Amino acid sequence: MRRGRNVKIVATLGPASDSYEMIRKLHEAGADVFRLNMSHGTHEEIRVKHAHIRKVEADLNSPIAILADLQGPKLRVGAFAKGSEELTEGAAFRLDLDETPGDASRVCLPHPEIFAALQPGKRLFVNDGKIRLRVDSCGPDFAACTVTTGGTISNRKGVNVPDVVLPLAALSEKDREDLEFACELGVDWLALSFVQRAADVDEARALARGRAAVLSKIEKPSAVENFDAILDASDGIMVARGDLGVELPVQAVPPIQKRLVRRCRAAAKPVIVATQMLESMIESPMPTRAEVSDVATAIYEGTDAIMLSAESAAGKYPVEAVQTMDRVATEVEADPTYQQIIAASRGGRASTVADGIVAAAREIAETTDIKAICCFTQSGTTALLTARERPGLPIIAMTSVRRTARRLALSWGCNCVMTEELHRFKMAVVSAARAARAGGFATERDQIIVIAGVPFNMAGTTNILRVAPCDEKLIFNTDPG
């Protein structure tokens, strides 16, 4: 399904969007990727959503990526005798391992690993940072704190520990079960929560065994500090601004977002900007001006994808939220300033043959009357390198591997087309010309660029570029291969 823009849209499924009919409407409205939140719903409920997505994909003959978002360890306080308490600034408050219901002076924190990592002076945030505590003294089973920001604290609210790397694996036992289930189900991407170091990603990749690509959620200060190593270990990145904005000063998040997006693009790995992009559309059919500006900013930065969470999962206007993102993206990408910004942020010199091929393809295409760049890819690498160039014309990613087509549905500008397995370059050119015409990208009178690797069907062999006519008669008359 051809879109009128290059940035991709990720829509989270939930109670407002779990039927076949709604999933189809969301895809037709512009959703390219569907996110299954493993924090909510049983495996059977997730299996039904997965089946609906695959039926939409088959009915519309349009590759769709499915992203399973693993919950990660959940750090929460225990329960209070009264259900909640009011904490005042300057008051003493104790966290410990005693499971006795809490009061205004203490509550259980059933996570000894937190106490093991704490030191005096470190901070603890409760309920998305609405309550803030400073550690005065601590031991293996307690932390005596001072309330620095007061408010209402209630049962099982989340806890953030921004100042330390916790001795916790990114994968809980539930996550391991969910990961195996999702991989067996056939999802395309796994989103890994609570990433602190590259070793967390390595563990998930080992468990996935190539059955799904691994996308790391950057939501902790330690992940920002270790980002280069995490990026190198990951297939993709999500800038998860919710927890990131709790554990870091909110004003630090926009420049971090910009830096991470640029590093992902330089590495030719897809990046999603997520959290509260159109939050008001949970209840309103119209977004705020600030939300529209936030979405547009991420697009101007060159992100691969923008994501809806509760807006499409539980909101009143899921289709309208997708349509809004689609319209904003279309408008931004039509702005001459957009191409200027994208061109100015392009990376340095090519270091491999494949880098040189895709850079040359983009330059030729933008300085001549070329209608599309068609790249043949088995693993997806050629298409990802082409997308990194952010060319000002369509990318047609052609592959005989269904899994590759689905994964590329997350990547900037990739129009994914399934093709039969090819063994001769001439037939690749013919197949590309047919795809360009069938998709409305070109006519018989037009030219396209074809990128491929010879020999065919081997990953990492991008080594040939051809400017080709879309007229098959001309291809057979002029191409000896």
pLDDT tens digits along 151-176: 999 999 999 999 888 888 889 999 99
Q: What's the pLDDT score for residue 38? A: 96
| Active-site residue, from 217, 258, 362, 437 | 217
Q: What's the pLDDT score for residue 453? A: 83
Residue 219 pLDDT > 90, yes or no? Answer: yes
0.75 surpassed by pTM: yes
CA separation, residue 244 to residues 157, 454, 456 (Å): 17, 44, 43
59 sits in which H/E element: helix 43-60
Residue 6 pLDDT > 70, yes or no? Answer: yes
Residue 473 confidence class, pLDDT cut points 50, 70, 90: confident
Q: What is the CATH number of domain 353-478?
A: 3.40.1380.20
Query: Contact 236/217 with Cβ under 8 angstroms?
Result: no
Mean pLDDT, all residues of the chain: 94
- How much is the average pLDDT of 462-472? 90
Percent of the chain with pLDDT over 70: 98
Q: Which of 101, 33, 95 shows the shortest CA–CA distance to 68?
A: 33
Q: What's the pLDDT score for residue 310? A: 96
Residue 16 confidence class, pLDDT cut points 50, 70, 90: very high
Does 82 qualify as catalytic in the annotation? no
Q: Does domain 8-72+170-335 have CATH number 3.40.50.2000?
A: no
Q: What's the pLDDT score for residue 350? A: 64
- How much is the average pLDDT of 322-330? 98
130: left (phi over 0), alpha (psi -120 to 50) or beta: alpha
Reduce the DSSP state of residue 63 to 3 states and report it: coil
- How much is the average pLDDT of 101-116? 96
Q: Which residue has the higher pLDDT, 463 or 125?
A: 125
Q: Which of 14, 45, 9 shows the shortest CA–CA distance to 27?
A: 9
Residue 348 confidence class, pLDDT cut points 50, 70, 90: low
| Active-site residue, from 275, 381, 386, 399 | 275
- How much is the average pLDDT of 373-380? 94
Token pair for 319: 């289709």
Class of domain 84-160: mainly beta
Percent of the chain with pLDDT over 90: 86
Q: What's the pLDDT score for residue 478? A: 64
Rounded Cα–Cα distance for residues 441 and 445 (Å): 12
- How much is the average pLDDT of 254-273? 97
Residue 387 confidence class, pLDDT cut points 50, 70, 90: very high
Residue 449 pLDDT > 90, yes or no? Answer: yes
Strands 213-218 and 236-240: parallel
- How much is the average pLDDT of 127-145? 95
Residue 346 confidence class, pLDDT cut points 50, 70, 90: confident
| Active-site residue, from 47, 54, 76, 211 | 76
Taking the domains of the chain in order of start, what are their residue ranges? 8-72+170-335, 84-160, 353-478
Rounded Cα–Cα distance for residues 57 and 411 (Å): 17
- How much is the average pLDDT of 139-146? 96
Q: What's the pLDDT score for residue 456? A: 75
| Active-site residue, from 35, 106, 265, 406 | 35
Residue 210 pLDDT > 80, yes or no? Answer: yes
Q: What's the pLDDT score for residue 460? A: 66
What pLDDT digit, counting tens, does each position of 428-444 carry?
Answer: 999 999 999 999 999 99
Does 35 qualify as catalytic in the annotation? yes
What pLDDT digit, counting tens, does each position of 69-92 carry?
Answer: 999 998 999 999 999 999 999 999
Token pair for 233: 């270990």
Rounded Cα–Cα distance for residues 474 and 478 (Å): 6
Which ranges in 186-240 belong to alpha helices (H)? 198-208, 221-225, 227-233
Query: Contact 475/433 with Cβ under 8 angstroms?
Result: yes
Residue 2 confidence class, pLDDT cut points 50, 70, 90: confident
Residue 37 confidence class, pLDDT cut points 50, 70, 90: very high
Q: What's the pLDDT score for residue 215? A: 98
Does 217 qualify as catalytic in the annotation? yes
Rounded Cα–Cα distance for residues 339 and 362 (Å): 13
Residue 480 pLDDT > 60, yes or no? Answer: no
225's CB contacts (< 8 A; 6+ apart) are: none
Residue 479 pLDDT > 80, yes or no? Answer: no
